[in-house]
Structure 1
Amino acid sequence: MKRLMIMALAASLVLAFAASAFAGATYDQVMKDKVVRAGIMTDSIPGAFYNAKKEWVGFDVDIAKAIADKMGLKLEMVPVNNKTRIGFLQQGRIDMSLSNMTHKRSRDNSIDFSITYFFDGQKMLAPKGKFSTLKDFVGKRVATMQGTTSELNVVAALKKLGDPAPKVISFQKESECFQALQMGRVDAWSTDSTILLGYAAQIPGKFELVGEFFSNEPYGIGLPEDDSKWRDSVNFTLQDMWNDGTYQKIYDKWYGPDTKYYFPMTDKIEMWP
């Protein structure tokens, strides 16, 4: 028995050493390989999606490309969704995640985040002319994405307005939420407003955003835990992109006044002297 205990202890020490050896190694590995693997969504219009030509495009796609370019790296894009984006970072399958990820304290327990690189808020999308305020959705069926902050936010918002048991119906994908709204299976869809704008633009004039923002959604780039050198590199690159106009150019391309996804910028990236 004593021998088994010693062997078990030795094994645990080996595992602990191995874990510490890999901790904080993202920067070194990325710079050695000259490749950065970015986890990116595939059906989040206009953040990251496949267009009519089956090209993977969007705001996050262009931001990821700009980060890689400024670092002198080759970009490898990896499809992620709400369920895989954190796990892929923890497993070392990606080096950063640009995937509509609100920086939450609870998420910061398992991964790190860059500075906020996009500012959004949650609203409701509903058939045009049918609703006028958030309170109108009390007792109504609302679609949302399973396992997201949007799911928690809309339940809390409706309860605050007096709905004792909000009828929130959760789906796996954003496209499924929109399909449910189109088919009348739900009365509204709630998530970050830019995502709602993106889908509504596919059928102009049929749907509209209703009410005021009822949550703040500061997006951060998800990063592996405990690698300050890699985190600093991403943060410095974002700040450089803001300073030299790269960020504004990308923003205007997807959210500017001449686009069908027009969304006025509400804040600016945190800058360090």
Structure 2
Amino acid sequence: MRSLKILTLVAAMFLCAQMSFAGTTYDKVMKAKVIRAGIMTNSIPGAYYDADNNWVGFDVDIAQEIANRLGCKLDRVKVTDKTRISFLQQGRIDMSVANMTHKRERDKSIDFSITYFFDGQKVLAKKGKFKSLKDMVGQKIATTQGTTSEINIRNLLKELGDPNPNAHVKSFPDYASAFAALQMGSVAGFTTDSTILLGYAAKEPGKYELVGDFFSNEPYGIGLPENDSKWRDTINFTIQDMWKDGTYMKIYNKWYGPDTPYAFPMTEEIEMWP
């Protein structure tokens, strides 16, 4: 029994030593001078591969600017809707800049920065086919698996009187396959955050349109490791500094300005602390 207690004590001391050595995310990042950022690859124009196979987009530029300001190299790590949270939990990335809505449920397992992008959910359909969301009751609508969009559209259809919303919501593994279903006519609509829909609609200008008003509020936060306040403060301060000196809006207008295919007027302001 005595030897077991000793072994337990040694194990506990070893674990504490490991935790102490690991340090905060901020300490590890600043020592390595590398930020590992989880970024999407098919979220047009947030983060995607362009015609020349360059990884580009709003989130890519935001992540790069944060790295630049902290004097770090940016290590881009591919994530999806399904992996962006688990990669943070496993320590495979230091931040997730991946069009992720800040939800209370998600906040139980990871932390978030202040809101760095403001969006809402809509439905994309072939132009002229539907006048309102009510007209889409009973129609099949595509969305992506494991997202808040999937939950929101089911709830909306139910509110609008759809007799079987579960059967009419078709969930796909990613945005590209959901949009492909709309292109092929196997679904009548494709729903997710409106800026993502604008990105896919721009592939075939004039063929698709957004139907109805926003039916959700989607404040995007940068996903961060749980209970790591020094790193969270650093990211928040950096976002605020980018807003204050105008860099944020330069990046925003590059991707969502009035002269882009994805025009989306800025309607909110970044939260600023004195």
Structure 1 length as normaliser, TM-score? 0.95
Superposition map of 1:201-212 within 5 A: 201-212=202-213
CA contact (8 A) 1:41 1:48 kept: yes
Structure 2 length as normaliser, TM-score? 0.94
Pair 20,128 (structure 1): closer, same or farther in 2 beyond 3 Å:
same
- Offset at residue 37 of structure 1 (A): 0.6
Residue 151 (structure 1) aligned with residue 150 (structure 2): yes
The answer for the alignment partner of 2:187 in structure 1 is: 186
Q: Deviations over 1:224-243 (max 9, x none)?
A: 01110000000000000001
- Offset at residue 164 of structure 1 (A): 2.8
Superposition map of 1:104-123 within 5 A: 104-123=103-122
CA contact (8 A) 1:24 1:226 kept: no
Superposition map of 1:129-148 within 5 A: 129-148=128-147
The answer for the alignment partner of 1:175 in structure 2 is: 176
The answer for the alignment partner of 2:54 in structure 1 is: 55
Pair 233,131 (structure 1): closer, same or farther in 2 beyond 3 Å:
same
- Offset at residue 57 of structure 1 (A): 0.1
Q: Which amino acid aligns with 2:38?
A: G
Measure, in 2, the Cα distance between the counterparts of 1:240 and 1:157: 38
Measure, in 1, the Cα distance between the counterparts of 2:33 and 2:93: 14
Measure, in 2, the Cα distance between the counterparts of 1:203 and 1:10: 65
Superposition map of 1:208-219 within 5 A: 208-219=209-220
- Offset at residue 17 of structure 1 (A): 3.1
The answer for the alignment partner of 2:81 in structure 1 is: 82
Pair 15,178 (structure 1): closer, same or farther in 2 beyond 3 Å:
farther
The answer for the alignment partner of 2:33 in structure 1 is: 34
Which stretches of structure 1, 4 residues or longer, exceed 6 Å deviation after superposition? none
Structure 1 unaligned regions, length at least 5: none
CA contact (8 A) 1:24 1:225 kept: no
CA contact (8 A) 1:24 1:227 kept: no
Superposition map of 1:67-78 within 5 A: 67-78=66-77
In percent, how many aligned pairs have the same letter? 67
Pair 137,33 (structure 1): closer, same or farther in 2 beyond 3 Å:
same
Q: How many residues align?
A: 272
The answer for the alignment partner of 2:239 in structure 1 is: 238
Measure, in 2, the Cα distance between the counterparts of 1:158 and 1:8: 58
Question: What SS is found at the alignment partner of 1:195?
Answer: helix
Measure, in 1, the Cα distance between the counterparts of 2:18 and 2:137: 49
CA contact (8 A) 1:96 1:222 kept: yes
Q: Deviations over 1:27-83 (max 9, x none)?
A: 000000011010000000000000000000000000001111111111110000011
Measure, in 1, the Cα distance between the counterparts of 2:89 and 2:51: 33
Pair 229,138 (structure 1): closer, same or farther in 2 beyond 3 Å:
same
- Offset at residue 132 of structure 1 (A): 1.1
Measure, in 2, the Cα distance between the counterparts of 1:184 and 1:140: 11
Residue 247 (structure 1) aligned with residue 248 (structure 2): yes
Pair 190,12 (structure 1): closer, same or farther in 2 beyond 3 Å:
farther
Q: Which amino acid aligns with 2:34?
A: V
Question: What SS is found at the alignment partner of 1:93?
Answer: coil
The answer for the alignment partner of 2:267 in structure 1 is: 266
